[in-house]
Structure 1
């Protein structure tokens, strides 16, 4: 998988609300009503990440979920990250 340049990353980010590029990865965070809702979404994302064989770096504290995506093999952001980010957005939207 080919690492994307910063211009390409920023263009693609225009299609993902709330995502930013920094520290060689794309990042976002979500807030939910409570821990159970946050963990439910994390579980759905985990199944999708496993299906795509691409796993996020993430952290959860109570109702907040922080996610960072980068492709370690490419040492940066690739199309794989944007594919997973889009799937994450769809999962979060479906849970709202």
Structure 2
């Protein structure tokens, strides 16, 4: 989602992050409540299957997300710790 102009849907985010839906959807709801993202329902009637909910960063959300990612990366680099939320597999 970050750095893209095209909207993304929840399952796409789940696949890219390798996180469970029970983790991703509450985060998306919180981000939307805080004004960082906007969501809308897909209008593509030619696609088979249920409608997808599409997510886009707001201008404020994209700036805040970039700053958060930079701060997280700086902290991770300085502490030498592995990413949080994943098991170390080395």
Larger Rg computed on CA atoms: 2
Is TM-score (shorter-chain normalized) higher than 0.5? no
TM-score range with shorter-chain normalisation? 0.3 to 0.5
Q: TM-score, normalised by structure 1?
A: 0.33
Structure with the larger strand share:
1
